[in-house]
Amino acid sequence: MSVEKLTKKCGLIHATVAKIADSIVGDFEVKVDNPNSQAIIDSFIKSSNFKLNLRTWIQEGLAKGNGFIELDLENEKMRVMNANYMYVKRNKKGQVLEYNQWTKPLRQFNRDSPDMINFKPNKIAHLPINKIPNDPYGIGIIWPNERIIQNLILNEQD
């Protein structure tokens, strides 16, 4: 069973992820000494619904191992992306070259397809949780406990 299905199917898992995300975000605020900078930051936080997006981004990272946010700083917008469709393109030294989004079935994957959406590294904020060394992706907090969770679900069904 996929991590996403486990999170949706088991209320205990969903609640655990939500509680951890809530404790991380908490009473989030940014304070700077410069009043002009503070006004810009406050405006961005309000117009982009930053706290809600931050919470969703962290939940995505905790559950799936990776959280991705598309950043549109000119328009003060943010959009949490589904990590299932995001791919990291790196060079041989591990530097991120771009992020790609593919929402069609994987069997239709074509690197040169116009359906592939490319993002420059400064347009995406990537949050890997439980990152594997020399790998751009994380595994989150659910997957390492997948066997235990499956057993709990099966015991409950019995």
3 pLDDT band, cuts 50/70/90, is confident
As given in the structure block, the two tokens for residue 50 are 């930053």
- pLDDT tens string 13-34: 889 899 999 999 888 788 999 9
Using CA atoms, how far apart are residues 28 and 30, in angstroms rounded to an integer?
7
Q: Catalogue the E-assigned strands of 18-153.
A: 66-72, 77-81, 86-90, 96-101, 117-119, 124-128
Query: Can you name the residues that pair with 72 across neighbouring β-strands?
Result: 77
Nearest alpha carbon to residue 13 among 132, 138, 153: 153
Helix (H) or strand (E) holding 42: helix 35-47
106-140: pLDDT as tens digits = 777 777 777 889 999 999 999 999 998 888 999 99
Q: What is the DSSP letter of 2?
A: -
